[in-house]
Amino acid sequence: MRILSERLALWFLRLNGFLTIPNFIVHPEGPREDGAYPQQTDVDVLGVRFPFRAESRARPMPDFDLFTAEKRMMVVLSEVKTGQCGLNGPWTDPQRQNMQKVLCAGGFRPPDQVEGIAAALYQSGIWGDESLIVRIVCFGDRHNAGLARSHPQVPQLLWKRHVLPFVYQRFDQYKLEKQMHHQWDEDAKELFAEAGQSPGNDGKQFVQSVEVVSEL
């Protein structure tokens, strides 16, 4: 099967208990010199996960380690690639102030804290206090050594190493709990069906059968 990269990232986050908004658009705060109001940028997937998340009290479903290790509410700003992981210019150029616009639009902290949070995110990709953590997470096909050096605290989640194995594990181990899903979109239904084609193995067949693309 083929799936858009943003859709796979969204479902990975959703299966880990995130409330998600795809294509969270950053709108301009005023016109350009020519009077136009162009879109500034967008967050591929914005997600919020609460600290007491637990799916199925009878047979708890373990989430991805990156998320279960955190005991605070988490806001994730996802940068999604089909090739090598990386950060686009809007998230690394403080002069454009896109981070401030996202934080204000999301309303995660009071306005007087926005500049400090944005500065930390521009510098390291992560900010936190006693009750909230905001972090950038990159999705992609390949690890970026340069990004690891410049932003070592930004996780790089690879489709075939991290994301698809998790999706397979969730759908294989909890197929009975997840089998009634007529409300899901077609992407999730197809992922579930594909996982069911190779039950009882280590998921390699499923991982190889899914092609992550930038457009269909």
- Residue carrying structure tokens 């698809």: 164
181: its two tokens: 């899903």
Q: At what angle do helices 98-106 and 114-124 cross, to 10 degrees?
A: 130
Closest residue by Cα to residue 151 from 90, 87, 74: 87
User: Is 97 a member of any domain?
Assistant: yes
User: Is 8 a member of any domain?
Assistant: yes
Closest residue by Cα to residue 96 from 124, 128, 122: 122
Name the domain count of the chain: 1
User: Is 190 a member of any domain?
Assistant: no
User: Is 210 a member of any domain?
Assistant: no
Alpha-carbon dihedral 92, 95, 96, 101, rounded to 10 degrees: 90
User: Is 180 a member of any domain?
Assistant: no
Contact call for residues 132 and 103 (beta carbons, < 8 A): no
Q: What gap in Å lies between CA 2 and CA 132, rounded to an integer?
A: 35
Tens digit of pLDDT at every position of the chain (216 positions): 999 999 999 999 999 999 999 999 888 777 777 776 666 678 999 999 999 999 999 999 999 999 999 999 999 999 999 999 999 877 888 988 999 999 999 999 999 999 999 999 999 999 999 999 999 999 999 999 999 999 999 999 999 999 999 999 999 999 999 999 999 999 999 999 999 987 666 789 999 999 999 987
- Residue carrying structure tokens 């579930």: 192
User: Is 71 a member of any domain?
Assistant: yes
What domain range includes position 91? 2-159
Which residues share a beta bridge with 47? 20, 76
Q: What gap in Å lies between CA 155 and CA 69, rounded to an integer?
A: 13
Contact call for residues 47 and 78 (beta carbons, < 8 A): yes
* pLDDT for the residue 200: 63
User: Is 195 a member of any domain?
Assistant: no
User: Is 208 a member of any domain?
Assistant: no
CA atoms in the 13 A half-sphere facing the CB of 133: 19
